[in-house]
Structure 1
Amino acid sequence: MSLIASLPNIDKIADSVFVMHERSEKFIPYHSHAKGQLSYVEGGLAYLQLNDKNYVIPARHYFWVPSGLEHILKIGHSGTILRSIFFYTYDDNKNLFFSEVGIYPINALLLQMIKYTELWDGPIKSDDSRYQFLSVIKNILPEISNKKLPISLPFTDHERMQPILEFIANNITANHTLASLSTHFGIGERSLSRLFQITLKTSFLQYLKLLRMVRSIELMLQSDISISEIGYAVGYDSLSSFSNTFYQMTNYRPSDFKREIAARE
């Protein structure tokens, strides 16, 4: 059964754990559930949209969504498999981890534990022998989830900002500045700067960096081009500039990030 079809069943038994492994739909619209969600992205890319941010989730990473939080899931590749476990919440207050959205690289232990549940499907009740195994997965998450991927791209439905953001995204290699954008769209520099801060809660330069980092991660996963070619493709004129910015935003060098993902394939 697909995730969309299963949504009404996830919360039917409050203290159960709901397990699902699927080749996911391309788009799962705004929804929420009373259970906390652990999902592992196997192959391709996924995107998590909530509140006013878009998160990119590379292959071989997992994410946690706290209970009750409305979100959208987008799958960026037809080969992506989403392995999800929805947990009871009666003990969520024991660790701050369970109240925050997070994206993390998978490690060997968690990967094997999730794959061990591959043939399980639907609600697992507390009197089921498999329940204890699933509880262990939840209990170790705060301990092993210590390297959060900090890439989230703010978004807005603001009518005046939409064409500006589309223009930047469609011309990502250009040397964008507030001055060049204000001239192109006939908006004063100060007004444009305020528009970014008001609608996206970030500066123009920070938004441009985030957009380029998201695009570079997509290229790492969807193409075989070199790191230097990726840097040029997202608007950097030198490998060192791209590498330094990538490290600043993700705590990884781009070559290390690509190598880690490849090693987990």
Structure 2
Amino acid sequence: MSFKNTKEDRGQHIDHLTTNSYVWYESNWKHDDKEDSHDYYQLNYVEEGYQYFHIEQKIYLVPQNNVIWIPANKKHRTTSDATTVNPMLILFKSAPKKDFYNEVHVFEAPAVLREMMFYASKWNKATSENPEQHLFLKALLGSLPNFCNDAFGLQVPVPTDSRLIPVCHYINANYQYNVSADDLGEIAKMSARNLQRIFKQETGITLQKYIQLIRIVKSIELIDTKRFTLSEIAYKVGYKSLSAFSNSYFSIMKIKPSGKGQKK
């Protein structure tokens, strides 16, 4: 049985599953803003493009060749402005009794995990589970903690304090400029010192770190368009040199930005 390429149809289909595991792959996936929550644990792999997962008060970036693990009954929604998004997910009705499986994780998929995901695509949208599928996906599930490297993780916090919302909106619209704490304090109607203190308490990161995260997010979106060189992207997101951008990108993503396939 298959279903249409909409999140509503997919969600309704998941609600009626009876198998212990389920594989779903769709090329050129179209996103919407609907929120999902279901009884299955979820492993998402991004074969091409990138996705944002909005979970609780954080936005997780999952770039190409990365996976995100989402515990059961965790409300989430996905968005993306990527030109093309080819996602794959595997659902599990149960998971081992370890802390790993009850937390959200984003990490680069090593070659062996990518090969396992590709092999599992042979069961795409199958609503019955054969013995090979059961054993293979059980082995994949049990191996996930060994594949996970939480050194990477671009997580953009979403504050709940109403005074901080316009500050974040301003940064999101003006990330390419030098934004001072004094200017942001005026927007929040408080002193720069109080803003910095409250922002850190609310989000766990500093204002400067938030600006850095937004710049890297925007750079990934620009890289995906394949319209600009890395030097052009560096200036567009607010860095004065390619080296400064590359160092900032590496500090977040743990890899250097790639110019493959971009404008020469």
TM-score between the two structures when normalised by the length of structure 1: 0.83
* 1:6-34 Cα distance to aligned partner (Å, 9 max, x none): 32443555661011112433125222222
Q: How many residues align?
A: 255
Equivalent in the alignment of 1:44: 49
Equivalent in the alignment of 2:21: 17
Percentage of pairs with the same residue? 26
Contact 1:4 1:28 in 2 (8 A): no
The answer to whether structure 1 residue 83 and structure 2 residue 88 are counterparts is yes
After superposition, the Cα gap between the structure-2 partners of 1:60 and 1:175, relative to the gap in structure 1 and judged at 3 Å, is same
The answer to whether structure 1 residue 102 and structure 2 residue 124 are counterparts is no
Structure 1 residue runs of 4 or more that deviate by more than 4 Å after TM superposition: 11-15, 183-186
The answer to whether structure 1 residue 58 and structure 2 residue 59 are counterparts is no
Q: Which runs of 5+ in 1 are unaligned?
A: none
Equivalent in the alignment of 1:191: 194
- What CA distance in whole angstroms lies between the structure 1 residues aligned with 2:180 and 2:125? 51
Contact 1:216 1:234 in 2 (8 A): yes
TM-score between the two structures when normalised by the length of structure 2: 0.83
Q: Which runs of 5+ in 2 are unaligned?
A: none
- What CA distance in whole angstroms lies between the structure 1 residues aligned with 2:105 and 2:188? 36
After superposition, the Cα gap between the structure-2 partners of 1:15 and 1:184, relative to the gap in structure 1 and judged at 3 Å, is closer
- What CA distance in whole angstroms lies between the structure 2 residues aligned with 1:129 and 1:224? 44
Contact 2:109 2:147 in 1 (8 A): no
* 1:208-257 Cα distance to aligned partner (Å, 9 max, x none): 111112222222222342323222221122233222222222322334xx
The answer to whether structure 1 residue 241 and structure 2 residue 244 are counterparts is yes
The alignment partner of 1:29 has SS state of coil
Structure 1 vs Structure 2 CA RMSD? 2.6
Contact 2:83 2:224 in 1 (8 A): no
Pairwise CA distance, 1:158: 4.1
Q: Among residues 240, 247, 252, which one is paired with 2:255 in the alignment?
A: 252
Q: Among residues 140, 143, 147, which one is paired with 1:140 in the alignment?
A: 143
Contact 1:49 1:73 in 2 (8 A): yes
Pairwise CA distance, 1:175: 0.8
